[in-house]
Amino acid sequence: MKPYDAIRARLDRGDLVVLDGAIGTEILRRDLSWADHQVLAFPDKIRSIHEDYLRAGADVLSTNTFQLARRCFASHFRDHAHMRHVGAPGLDRKADTLLAAAVNLAKEARSRVGRPAAIAGAVTTLEWCFRPDLAPSPEEMREEYREIMTTMASAGADLILLETVNSIAEAKVGLEAARSAGLPCWVGFVCDEKGRLFTGETLAEAERALAPGKPDAILLNCAPPADAAAGLRELRAARKGPCGIYPHIGRFDPPEWLFTEEFPPDRYLDEARRWREMGAAVIGGCCGTSPDHIARLAGGLAPKKTS
């Protein structure tokens, strides 16, 4: 049985699936810079974050690949000619190397801990996640997502977690690319206080537009708990299939994160109980959350569907 089959069966029954918490901000909390995702420089530290989430009870591990794409490197240069002229050799292939290495670290953590989790290749908007105005053309998007998904699939990801997506257009292209790579796909949207996408589109519109691509779950993420919950309400009103939520806690302090005491694990669990009542099947944490938060969710939320 493939690792995702067990997850799918649970979602079909309406049971809870626990997603892990933050990776990027957890790297910062463990006193490393986030530059280069630290996949090659500190593989042990990254693997141990995955292991901590598994021991906390996560059913799905997301890879340490937030916004990792060829474009991350290319955007630092005027164009290819400039990159070749002043850039370090191999920047063109570096994203691919890091993506594969990141999936491997999650796989290694899984075999070390011995818990049958599914590994979600985390894929974010090609340009900045909070700036839908910067999104590339659909043609460029298609090509770049195809590359990323192919790498994720051949490295052994069990599903794709498109996260912090800010427009329906980009979600559609990402979803199609995941499907072409033969992987299940969850789509996570960032939303505002009213539960709308950053383009002003509604989650009902998103559900309708994505339905033909059959997303395995639609989620809300990387917004404060109240905002993500507003999005979840909108989504549930429009969608029968699996829904999920993993908000961020604390404050974005670019290029890092400000950890606050506003949502300690106990309070986060209280919120999560409400999300579960609202119909969330997948619950986890985004920026600012830690293995302690996930342990409280895994230990405190009813695993079976109650109503």
Partner 1 sequence: MPPYDRIRRTLESGGVVLLDGAMGSELVRRGVRWRGNGLRTSPEEVQALHEEYLAAGADVIRTNTFQLNPRTVLNVFRSREHMRHIGAPDLETRAQDLTRKAVEVALAARERSGREAAIAGVLSPLEHCFRPDLSPPEKEAEAEHAEMAAILAGAGADLLVLESMNTIAEARAAARAASAMHLPIWASFVLGPEGDLLSREKLEDAVRAMESMGVDVVAVNCSPPVDVGAAVKRLRQATKRPIGAYAHVGKFDPPSWKFEFHPQFSATEEWPPEKYRDAAGAWRKAGAAAIGGCCGTGPDHVRALREGMR
Report which DSSP code applies to 37: G
Question: Which CB atom, from 238 or from 259, has the smaller least distance to partner 1?
Answer: 259
Between 48 and 130, CB nearer to partner 1 = 130
Q: How far is the CB of 244 from partner 1 (least distance, A)?
A: 20
Angle 301-65-19 from CA coordinates, rounded to 5°: 10
- Measured from the CB atom, is 43 or 252 closer to partner 1? 252
DSSP 8-state class, residue 221: E
Shortest distance in whole angstroms from residue 4 CB to partner 1 = 27
In the complex, what is the shortest distance from the CB of residue 107 to partner 1, in angstroms, rounded to a whole number? 20
Residue 127 or 176: the one with the smaller Cβ distance to partner 1 is 127
**Least distance to partner 1 from the beta carbon of 115, Å?**
28
Structure tokens at 304: 């079976």
C-beta of 256: minimal distance to partner 1 in Å?
A: 5
Q: Which is nearer to partner 1, 33 or 154 (CB)?
A: 33
Q: Which of 134, 121, 213 is nearest to 167 (CA)?
A: 134
Extract the runs of DSSP E, i.e. beta strands, from 118-175. 118-124, 159-165
SS3 label, residue 36: helix
| Residue number with CB closer to partner 1 (11 or 46) | 46
Amino acid at 292: D
Phi, psi of 182 (to 5 degrees): 75, 25
Q: Which residues bind to partner 1, rule: CB under 8 A?
A: 33-37, 67-68, 72-73, 75-78, 81-82, 84-89, 91, 94-95, 98, 127-128, 130-132, 192-193, 198, 223-224, 248, 251-256, 258
Q: How far apart are the first and last CA of the chain?
A: 29
* 168 close to 197: Cβ distance less than 8 angstroms: yes
Q: Which is nearer to partner 1, 2 or 85 (CB)?
A: 85
291 vs 159: CA distance, rounded Å: 21
Output the CA–CA distances (angstroms, integers) from residue 66 to 32, 37, 121, in the order listed.
16, 8, 9
Q: State in angstroms the smallest separation of the CB of 198 from partner 1.
A: 5
Measured distance CA(205)–CA(268) in Å, rounded: 29
Cross-strand bridge partners of residue 121? 160
The distance of closest approach from Cβ of residue 103 to partner 1 in the complex, given in angstroms and rounded to an integer, is: 15
